[in-house]
Structure 1
Amino acid sequence: MAVYFPLQGSQTSDIPSNPQMHPDIEECPDSPNCIVVSKRFETEADQLYEFLEKAIADLNPHESEADLSELKIKSVFKIPLFGFKDDVLAIVEADGANSVVHIKSSSRVGYSDLGVNRRRVKKIFRKLESYLIVLNNSD
């Protein structure tokens, strides 16, 4: 008897996003193990970058390198059970008084990621939004 297990990959259908893409971010391959999401926030770029850096750090990346001058964060997450590595690139882009966050999360190996990258991006945005709510409530 065969058991069917859907190999759902990372899809953007359940993440509300602005489809803009930053020129420093390469497109995802055709395989469902990568996601790129852009989202606009009504916050200045420096403040948003600070919260983005904290949100990513809260997820305990294996490695992380932040570049304040370019408002860019490069992180590597290691999947505990198998040791596979996923790359995350996050860039904050100023847009007047607003800002846009671009995040790419992609697996280095394999075809499907079983939705790991999609869930990671959702967690980053949830944490980022929670920090912004606290900031706005303190005003």
Structure 2
Amino acid sequence: MVVRPRDGTVYAILLAAQTLAVGFLLWTVFPIFYSVVTHLGERQDVSWSSLLGLAAGTVLLQACYWARIRWVTVRAPCHSLFVAHLVFFSARLSFLFGGAFFSAIFFRHLPALGSVPPFWEIFIRAISIGAMLFGLFCYSLELERLGRAIEEPTLPV
């Protein structure tokens, strides 16, 4: 069953919730990212409240994304080539932050560790980072779908 409200309210709510979740994730991850970059090779202690917040933000992002994919069609609020380009740019930019975090963790921090943490900790952190990165990827896809919907029909040249 696909929800098709007249004004796209459900779509707007789900997109806004995804955007807030991404904003929250980036806001929470930035201090961790900064600590990783400024203290290369040192073990980073992340508080449980930050980890739980990241997990909750990732779950909210995924729940809204998959609910939208399953039940709600993309609704373009307008048709404009310029606005579509801004949305496409935002999609690329949103995933750029995830890629920067991923590269800082895996290419700059982990090889310099002097001691290896317990396996369960490595496993949980890898799953957490992967889930968050996948969530940012899904959000960028959502913005690309919106950009395609906003884009004006191509005119013959």
Give me the TM-score of the superposition, normalised by structure 2.
0.28
Greater relative contact order, per chain length (Cα 8 Å cut-off, separation 6+): 2
Higher strand share: 1
Higher helix share: 2
Larger Rg: 2
